[in-house]
Amino acid sequence: MASLSELTHKIRSKNAGPFWVTIDLFCEDDAHYKRVRDGLTLPVIARCLLIPENLVKRFEIDNLKVIKVSFQRKYFQGSRLDRDMHGAQFAFLLEQLQID
Amino acid sequence: MTKSTKILVPSGVLGLGFSEDALIQGLKRQPDIISIDGGSTDSGPFYLGMGVSKYSLEVCEAEWHLLMQARHDNKIPLVIGSCGTCGVNAGVDMMFDMTVRIAKKLGHSVKIARIYCERERSEFQIALSENRIKPLEPAPQITQDSLSKITHIVSSAGVEPIQKAIEAGADVILVGRATDTALIAALPLLNNAHKGASWHAAKIAECGAFCSTNPSSGVIFVEVDETGFTVEAMAQNALCTPETVAAHMLYENADPFILLEPGGHLDVTDATYTALDARRVRVEGSQWHSSDTYTVKLEAAKLSGYQTTLLTIVREPNYVAHIDDWIEKLSRICNTKIKQSMTNSKSTHSIDFRVIGKNAVLGELEFSESLAPELGVLVIVTADSQGEADDIAMLINPYLLHLPLSEDEPIPTTAFAYSPANSSRGAFFEFALNHIMKLEKPCDGFPLIIDEV
C-alpha cells in the first residue's frame, strides 16, 4: 500500500462550474501512473468521498499520465451547507488515500 | 489559402493584472483582435444575485485604459465578455461608461458595441412552458418559489452575437455573459479557420497564461489557421510546453475531452500537442461537432435569505479536547432559547457551527486526528430577514462567550477577536439554474447596440 501523495507529483482539485468538482492526479512516470490507474477505481473514489458511484466520472488520460476524477457536489457552490466554495481541499483528502 | 487569425489575450480576467512588457511583446506580433474575459461564476452566486462586480472598478479601469490605448495604436477590435463579473446588463453599462470615460480622456473616437445577455423572468417562463429549457446534470429544481426569488438570469452568448458586432465594424465590444471561449473563437471562425482549432485555441487561452509554466504572467498569444493553432506565452519567463498546454484542457473542466458550447461541442480526444521550440506549441486534430439545435446555457441566482456570522476562538485545553460536546450543548441550548423567544413560527432559519482547526472544511470526510492548540468556532446564521438573523446571532452571542461544559465548573470565557462578535452579512444567494435554453436563432435575445463616441 502507498498513499496517493507518494504515487503522484501533484494532485489539484477545483470547482468546474457551480455544480461539479474536478480532481486531477498527475503522475511522474508510467509505473506510477499504472499503479494509480489500477488502484484508484470508481468504488475506491466513491468510498473516499462518501458519494454514490453514479455521481462520479473517472477519466484516464494516458498521454499526460493523469487520472481525472469529476463528481457532482453534494452541496452546490456557495449554498447554505457548502464548506469550500472552490473545492480545492478535496486534493488533500485524496493525498492520504492508500491504494494497492 | 485563408490567412491565419492572431488573438492576443492579456489575462484570464480584467482586474487580475498582467505584465505590461508582455502585452507590448504581444502587440509586436500584430494581433487581429484583443480578447479578454470579465468574469465568471467562479466566485460564487453573490455577484450574479446582486448584479455586482467582484473586482475593484479602479483596477479594472487602469487595465482597460492600457487595452484601449493598445487597441487604438494597432487599429484592432477589443472585446470583453462577462462584463462586471456576472454579465448582467448593469455590468455592460458599467463597462460602457468606463469606455466612454477613457475614450474622452485619450481623445479617441470609438465605435462601441454593447451586447446584452440578461433574460427577463417572463421570457424564461415562456421558454419553460414551450419546453425549450432542459436541465444539465445536476440541476437545481425549478419551483414557483425558486423562480420568484431569482434576481437575475443571464444566458451565455456564443460566437454569433460577437461576430455580428465585429462585422458591424465595432472597435470595442462589450458582451454581457458569454462563454469564455466564444470571445476568442469568434474572429477565427468568422475568418473560416479550422472550427475545432478555433474553439480549442479559445479554451487553451481563456485563462491567459494559465496554460504556461508561469500562470500569473497573464499575456498569451494564439494563432489559428486552417489546420490547427499555435500558442505562445508573451512573458519572457513563461513557456508553453505540450504538457502545460494539454493540462490546461483539464482545468476547471469536468470532462477533459469534451467542451459543450452554444451550437455544438468541441472534442479534443484526438488532439496532438507538439513543441515547435522551447516556447511554442502546435495543436492539431481537435474536432468541432455542430448540434441540430442551438442552445445557450443559463445562469441564475436566487435570494435564499440573510446571514449573520459569529466567530470565537477556544483555547482552554479542556474545551479544545471536548469541542464536540461543547458544540452539541451550545447548539441544543441556543435552539431551545430561539424556539422560546421567536414569535415567527414559519421561520426557515438555520444555524451552522463549524469548528476551524478540526473539520471546518472537509466535515464528515476529515481524516486527521491531530489536535490544534486552539479552535475557531464559526457560527453561520441564515434567516428570512436580516433582522431575524441578527436577533438569532445576538441570542447565541453570550452562550458562545460563556457556556460552561458542565454545571459544576466556573464559567469560561472564549476569545472574541473583535467587537461586535456578530457580523451582518446581508443578502445570501444560491445558484438556481444549471439549464440550457433552445434558441431559434443564435442571436435571439442578445440585443446589439452600437454607439460612436
For residue range B413-441, what is the model confidence (pLDDT) as tens digits? 999 999 999 999 999 999 999 999 999 99
**Cβ neighbourhood burial of B346 (10 Å; 0-12, 13-18, 19+):** exposed
Å from A73 to nearest chain B CA?
9
Q: Say if the Cβ atoms of A68 and B250 lie within 8 Å.
A: yes
Q: Say if the Cβ atoms of A80 and B429 lie within 8 Å.
A: no
Q: How many residues does chain B have?
A: 453
Q: Find the residue in B nearest to A82 (Cα).
A: B361
Q: Say if the Cβ atoms of B431 and A78 lie within 8 Å.
A: yes
Å from A27 to nearest chain B CA?
12
Å from B390 to nearest chain A CA?
17
Spell out which chain A residues touch chain B, with contact meaning CB-CB distance below 8 angstroms.
14-20, 22, 24, 26, 48-50, 55, 57, 59, 61, 63-64, 66, 68, 70, 72-73, 76-81, 83-86, 89, 92-93, 96
* Closest CB from B44, B136, B354 relative to A83: B354
Q: Say if the Cβ atoms of B253 and A22 lie within 8 Å.
A: yes
Q: Say if the Cβ atoms of A19 and B360 lie within 8 Å.
A: no
Selected residue of A3, A9, A11, A19 to mutate for chain B interface (largest B Cβ count, 10 A): A19
**Cβ neighbourhood burial of B170 (10 Å; 0-12, 13-18, 19+):** buried
Q: Where are the domains of chain A?
A: 2-99
**Amino acid (1-letter code) at residue B308:** T
Q: Is pLDDT above 90 for B250? A: yes
Confidence of residue B1 (pLDDT cuts 50, 70, 90): low
- Give, in order, the Cα–Cα distances in Å from B230 to each of A39, B71, B204: 36, 22, 10
Q: What is the pLDDT of residues B3-12, one digit of tens each?
A: 899 999 999 9
Q: Find the residue in B nearest to A69 (Cα).
A: B254
Q: Where are the alpha helices (DSSP H) in B191-301?
A: 195-205, 242-248
**Cα–Cα distance, B143 to B132 (Å, whole number):** 16
Find the angle CA(B30)-CA(B31)-CA(B36) to the nearest 5 degrees.
145
C-alpha Rg value of chain B to the nearest Å? 26
Q: What is the pLDDT of residues A46-65, one digit of tens each?
A: 999 999 999 999 999 999 99
Q: What is the pLDDT of residues B140-195, one digit of tens each?
A: 999 999 999 999 999 999 999 999 999 999 999 999 999 999 999 999 999 999 99
Q: Is pLDDT above 70 for B110? A: yes
Query: B88 near B184, Cβ under 8 Å?
Result: no
Calculate mean pLDDT across residues B120-128.
Answer: 95
> In chain B, which among 335-364 make CB contacts under 8 A with chain A?
350, 352, 354, 360-364
Query: What average pLDDT does the structure give for chain B?
Result: 96
Contacts of A34 (CB under 8 A, 6+ apart): none
Q: Which three cell numbers stand for residue B130?
A: 414551450
Q: Which three cell numbers stand for residue B364?
A: 464528515
**Cα–Cα distance, B170 to B158 (Å, whole number):** 17
Q: Say if the Cβ atoms of A85 and B361 lie within 8 Å.
A: no
Pairs of residues, one from chain A and one from chain B, whose beta carbons lie less than 8 Å apart: 100
pLDDT at B341: 87
**Cα–Cα distance, B137 to B360 (Å, whole number):** 27
Greatest extent of chain B over all pairs of C-alpha atoms, in Å: 88
Beta strands in B211-293 (DSSP E): 220-224, 228-233, 258-261, 264-267, 272-275, 280-284, 287-290
Q: Say if the Cβ atoms of B304 and A70 lie within 8 Å.
A: no
Q: What is the pLDDT of residues B194-224, one digit of tens each?
A: 999 999 999 999 999 999 999 989 999 999 9
pLDDT at B342: 81
- Residues of B within 8 A of A61 (CB-CB) are 250, 256
Confidence of residue B228 (pLDDT cuts 50, 70, 90): very high
Contacts of B291 (CB under 8 A, 6+ apart): B263, B264, B265
Predicted interface score ipTM higher than 0.90: yes
- Going across the sheet that includes A56-61, the strands are A10-15, A20-26, A66-72, A56-61
Q: What is the pLDDT of residues B332-380, one digit of tens each?
A: 999 999 999 887 778 889 999 999 999 999 999 999 989 899 999 999 9
Percentage of the residues of chain A whose pLDDT score is greater than 90: 98
**Cα–Cα distance, B327 to B391 (Å, whole number):** 20
**Cα–Cα distance, B78 to B116 (Å, whole number):** 17
> Would you list the DSSP string of A31-78?
HHHHHHHHHS-HHHHHHHHTS-GGGEEEEEEGGGTEEEEEEE-SS-TT
